[in-house]
Amino acid sequence: MSVFINRKLLEQTTFHSTAPAGLACVVHAVAEEGEHELHFLDADDAVSETVPVTVAGKRPTGEATAVRLDVNPTKLGAARLSRGPSGSPAHHVIQPGADLFITTPAPRDACRVRLVRKTDGAVVFDSASLGAGDRFAVTLIRPGRYQVENQLDGAKLVLTVEYPVVGKQPYSPPPPMQIECTAGGFQAPTTTVKPAQGLIFLCSAPACLHLALVEPDDGPHQDAGPTRTTPAGSGSGGPPHAPLTEEARSVLRRVLRTFRGKPDGG
C-alpha cells in the first residue's frame, strides 16, 4: 500500500451514514419488487442523477440478476461523462433481498442516496434516515476515543480504539463487533475495540449515525503539546485533530500492512 493511501486511511476520523465514504458503508436490503429509481442528491438535497433499478423475483429474459448492487457516486459520475449528457443511465436488475452497498472511496465525492418506487414516488430507502434492518459499517484505524451519535434522537455511545502493540507476528484484528441501534439507545457488547476491527451498527429504529474521533491516542511517546480537537457533532470537513506523530503513523502503517497480508518491510 502506498504512503498516499495509508495517509488517507489513517486520517479518516469522521464518518456519517447519510453519505458513507472511505472506511464506511451503508447496506440496505431491497424487499419490494417492481420498478424503482436510485436518486443521488447534491449538497442542496436536489436530485443530481437518477438510475433505474428493477427488483424482480425472477430473472427477466436477457437480463442479469445480482445479490448486491454497488452504489458508488464516483463510478456513476465517470459513467455519466462517458455516455454524454443525452445518454441513458445503466438499468440495473436485482432480486428481492439483494443488498444496496453504498459507499465511495473519497469523502468529497460522497452523497445522500434514495431508492424511490417509480409508480407513486414513495421513498423506499433514504440514507439520511436508516430504517429497521439497515446496517452502517465502519472500520476505525486511528486509536483514541470516538463518539457515536444517532442524530435523530440524540442517543450517544463512546468507543475507545486501543493503541496497537505490534509484535513479530502479523496483526490480525478481532472479528467485527455488532452494535444495535435501538429506540432505547446503543447496545454494544463492549466499548473498547482494536485498530482495524470492524463495527457494524444494526438498526432497529430510525437512525442517522455520526461517528467522530474526540480524543486521539498517538501512542506512549506522543507529543505532550496541545492537541486541537473538534466536537463530534461539528460536521467539520477538515481533519478534526492535529496530524499523527511520525512514530504513531509508522506503527499504524505496520498494522495496515500486516492486516492486509503484506510483508512488514518498506
More confident of the two residues 220 and 149: 149
User: How much is the mean pLDDT over the chain?
Assistant: 80
| DSSP 8-state assignment for residue 130 | B
| pLDDT more than 90, % of the chain | 47
Q: Which residues contact 62 (CB under 8 A, 6 or more apart)?
A: none
pTM of the model: 0.80
CB 159 within 8 A of CB 192: yes
Model confidence at 105, in pLDDT bands (50, 70, 90)? confident
Per-residue pLDDT tens over the stretch 218-228:
877 655 444 43
Model confidence at 263, in pLDDT bands (50, 70, 90)? very low
Q: What is the pLDDT of residue 11?
A: 78
Q: Picking from 81-85, 103-107, 109-113, 125-129, which range would have the lowest pLDDT averaged per residue?
A: 81-85
Closest CA to 39 of 24, 26, 53, 27: 53
Instruction: Locate the domains of the chain by residue range.
Output: 3-17+136-259, 27-126
79-89 in b/e burial notation, b at 16+ Cβ within 10 A?
ebeeeeeeeee
More confident of the two residues 151 and 195: 151
Per-residue pLDDT tens over the stretch 175-208:
999 999 999 999 999 999 998 899 999 999 999 9
Instruction: Work out the average pLDDT over 167-174.
Output: 78
Rg (C-alpha) for the chain, rounded Å, is 20
Q: What is the pLDDT of residue 135?
A: 97
CA distances from 95 to 34, 89, 132, 224, 239 (A): 10, 19, 19, 55, 40
Q: Picking from 62-66, 162-166, 252-256, 260-264, which range would have the lowest pLDDT averaged per residue?
A: 260-264
Q: What is the pLDDT of residue 260?
A: 47
